[in-house]
Amino acid sequence: MVDLTGMRALVTGASSGIGAAIARDLAARGVHLVLTARRKDQLTAIAAECAAMGVTAQVVPADLGTPGATEALWTAATADGPIDLCINNAGFGYFRPFGEVEAERDAELVQLNITAVMELSRRFLVARKGATGRAFLLNIASIGAYQAVPNMALYTASKVFVRNFTEALHDELRGTPASATCVCPGGTRTEFHAQAGAGNYSWIANASMMSAEQCARSAVRAMLAGRRTYIPGLINKLSCFGVRLVPRWFASWMARRVLGKPRPGALPQRSAA
């Protein structure tokens, strides 16, 4: 396994869930961190936990759902030195029929899940061009990237982008000191589900749920091993393999059954509060 001691990582969506767990995992490996998300208090608490492991942990609050936000983030993140690991983890979805939520939420989803991933990947890879040291790009997609998912149409389409984009980058980077890895988690116990207005899942969805720590550990391992794509968890792997063997309409029908109905009531506000 690569020795990461003294390297510097940017982790987006580090205020909770998988991003916070990735930050802790990297801190334990001696990686200095730049942590970003909207909620400054949560970020500061996670940065303090990481700093207690003997690394520096800089907090840069940013709303990556806003056009142009990656520029100021990247400038702040690289002020004290180059970034060696770029972890594009921030993302959100909603579990409602398309068109039933406000258009601003769709625009933020596209900005955060697609545009910010593209912009930060670009800034990172352009900055690393010609450098001789190892560099790692890790983009978090979803098993939803493998099939259509009713009630998550836009979210899963955004993850199709992340998967295809990152796999292509992986192949472009072959033979260079940089690598790009796409990790496709299945259900993971985080704030994601409450934020999405989801959670009335079938037994099979609940049985395959993993912790954010398990997901983060395998994501970091896959990145360090230079994997192209990695799906954490056996049931998730089988599901992504299985959809290749059935008609696409059947996979979509099955997803509707596995994920159940949207939770009634209004979706949580898209604010950092």
Q: How far is CA 53 from CA 15, 24, 33, 49, 109, in A?
A: 17, 9, 11, 7, 34
Amino acid 156 reads T
65 is a site residue for ligand NAP (CB under 6 A): yes
Active-site residue (options: 94, 146, 155, 230): 155
Restricting to residues 95-134, which ones interact with ligand NAP according to CB under 6 A? 108, 112
187 is a site residue for ligand NAP (CB under 6 A): yes
Query: Least CB distance from residue 243 to ligand NAP, whole Å?
Result: 15
**DSSP element (H, E) containing 137:** strand 135-140
Query: Least CB distance from residue 128 to ligand NAP, whole Å?
Result: 23
232 is a site residue for ligand NAP (CB under 6 A): no
Q: How far is CA 145 from CA 26, 183, 202, in A?
A: 26, 10, 20
Q: Choose, by CB under 6 A, the member of 74, 92, 161, 165 that binds ligand NAP.
A: 92
Amino acid 210 reads M
Residue number, 5 or 206, with CB nearest to ligand NAP: 206
Q: Which are the contacts of 174, defined by CB distance < 8 A and separation ≥ 6?
A: none
Measured distance CA(229)–CA(84) in Å, rounded: 20
Catalytic residue flag (residue 155):
yes
Q: Active-site residue numbers?
A: 155
The residues binding ligand NAP (CB under 6 A) are 13-19, 37-39, 42, 62-65, 89-93, 108, 112, 140, 142, 185, 187-188, 190-192, 195, 212, 272
